[in-house]
Structure 1
């Protein structure tokens, strides 16, 4: 266990500088976006009211009161989140390939450590999950700060206030910040499953080179087919015999099956097909 923790800490520390930069950039862009958006809204309000003679009620009726939700739908808010998501998606591949393509093929040093090779696999996978949770946690800290900037720049008569609890229930944020423990397990369990499938597909490529690309693609496609098999059955059958809750239970079982299969196959490839 101690060796696994050291491996996990090592994997996290390797990405930490870029990770911190992404967080800082996210905060700067979102705060800047809030300032620009709020000032633009108030400039339009002043123009329409003081220059065009529109009443405050007419302006709000036509343009709507400014709310955090309107800002959260814009590129200023979603853009940095998308960049962070893309960076982590890229890092899912980079976390393996940099060890092979570095100056000293560092992967062989990792695999020669006196610990189970599965620990190397798990340390990389769990580091990805922890970084996702870190991004979400920091975003939750940013939200009340950005909400305060909105209240500071826009008078109360021109805005529709929202609490942080109301904000995180909206659209994709409700997936990043699950409302119940069950949703948390389902969403982030599905994320861990996806990471394990991609990791195993990468190890297929590393084990069998060009043939491995095909094998990895087939494995990933098979995993997707397994997960959507209840939906496929629903389309092909005239009558679907499972209730929604039973379908959810079946999806959970299939997800666990795919995850365990990915971990087993990844461990097999690391121990039997990749030699040092």
Structure 2
């Protein structure tokens, strides 16, 4: 456990710079989006009311009040979230492949540490989870700040105030990364953990067998997808709705756990027996 925690600390320290950059982009761009959306609305209100002599009530009736959804559904808000998702996806590959870069490949030092090689796998997986949950946590911190800035810029008569939970549930991308109950949280991030584990295994297959490993990785990933969706295929095309929804749900959970275990086992086998450095 001590060696595992040391590896996690080491891997987290390696990703700090990328993590801070993603946080900076998210905060700056989303705040800019709040300010620009508020100014755009207020400029339209000023033009209509003071230049075209439209009453305040008529403007609100025609245009509607400004709410945080105007910000939350804009590219200014969703763009940084997409960049963070892409950044995490990119780092899933970088966290392994950079260890092979250079004349004195760092992976050699990692695999020669006095600990089970599977701890290297677990440490990298944990780092991806820490990075993901960290980005989500800071988004939860940024959101109330952005809502306060919008409230401070827009007069109350033009603003439709929304609660924090209402905003999260109303913005599709936010509701995906911030589930509104514990079960959805476990299912969403459990599925993400399974995907990352399968990708890690694919990377190790490629590192173990080079060009042949690419085909092996594609085959492994395809087989995992087929196994996971097979109950739905059987339900729709063979068994004609034989399973109850709760039974299908339990089957999917069991298959996901089996796939996760198989992925971890195969990764451990490759790290111990096949990886060349």
Query: How far apart are 1:275 and its partner, in Å?
Result: 4.2
Confirm or deny: 8 A CA contact 2:37 2:70 kept in the other structure: no
Match of 1:100 in 2: 100
Residues 238 and 53 of structure 1, relative CA distance in 2, 3 Å threshold: farther
| Matching of residues 246-265 of structure 1 within 5 Å | 246-265=247-266
Report the Cα distance in structure 1 between the residues aligned to 2:46 and 2:111, rounded to whole angstroms.
65
Partner of 2:18: 18
Match of 1:243 in 2: 244
**TM, length-normalised to structure 1:** 0.96
Gaps of 5+ in 1: none
Counterpart of 1:65 in structure 2 is: 65
Deviates more, 1:1-10 or 1:242-251: 242-251
1:234 aligned residue:
235
Deviation sequence 1:17-72 (CA, Å, 0-9, x none):
12112101210111111001101111011111221222223322322211111211
- What's 1:174 paired with? 175
Distance of 2:143 and 2:269 partners within structure 1? 44
CA distance in 2, matches of 1:126, 1:42: 46
What's the CA shift for 1:226? 1.4
Residues 1:57 and 1:248: Cα distance change in structure 2 (over 3 Å) = farther
User: In structure 2, what is the Cα distance between the partners aligned to 1:257 and 1:186?
Assistant: 15
> Residues 7 and 123 of structure 2 are in contact (CA less than 8 Å); yes or no, is this contact kept in structure 1?
yes
- Partner of residue 149, structure 1: 149
1:31/1:254 CA distance change after superposition, 3 Å: same
- Residue 95 of structure 1 aligns to a residue whose secondary structure is helix
Q: Which secondary structure state, in structure 2, belongs to the residue aligned with residue 34 of structure 1?
A: helix
RMSD after superposition:
1.3
Sort the Cα spacing of 1:179 and 1:49 in 2 relative to 1 into closer, same or farther, 3 A: same
Alignment of 1:1-276 (within 5 A): 1-170=1-170, 171-237=172-238, 239-275=240-276
- Shift in alpha-carbon separation, 1:212–1:162, aligned structure 2, 3 A: same
- Between stretches 8-17 and 98-107, larger displacement belongs to 98-107
CA deviations over 1:209-247 (Å, ceiling 9, x no partner): 000000001111111111111222233136212222222
* Partners of 1:131 and 1:141 in 2: CA distance: 15
Tell me if structure 1 keeps the 8 A contact 2:118–2:268.
yes
Cα separation, partners in 2 of 1:102 and 1:163, compared to 1, 3 Å:
farther
Instruction: Give the ranges of 4+ consecutive aligned residues of structure 1 lying more than 6 Å apart after TM superposition.
Output: none
Do the aligned residues in 1 keep the contact of 2:67 with 2:161 (CA within 8 Å)?
A: yes
Tell me how far apart the structure 1 counterparts of residues 223 and 125 of structure 2 sit (CA, whole Å). Answer: 20
Deviation of residue 142 (structure 1)?
0.3
**Unaligned 5+ runs, structure 2:** none
Quote how far apart the aligned CAs of 1:251 are: 1.3
Cα distance in structure 1, aligned partners of 2:64 and 2:203:
49
CA contact (8 A) 2:235 2:243 kept: no
Shift of 1:103: 3.9
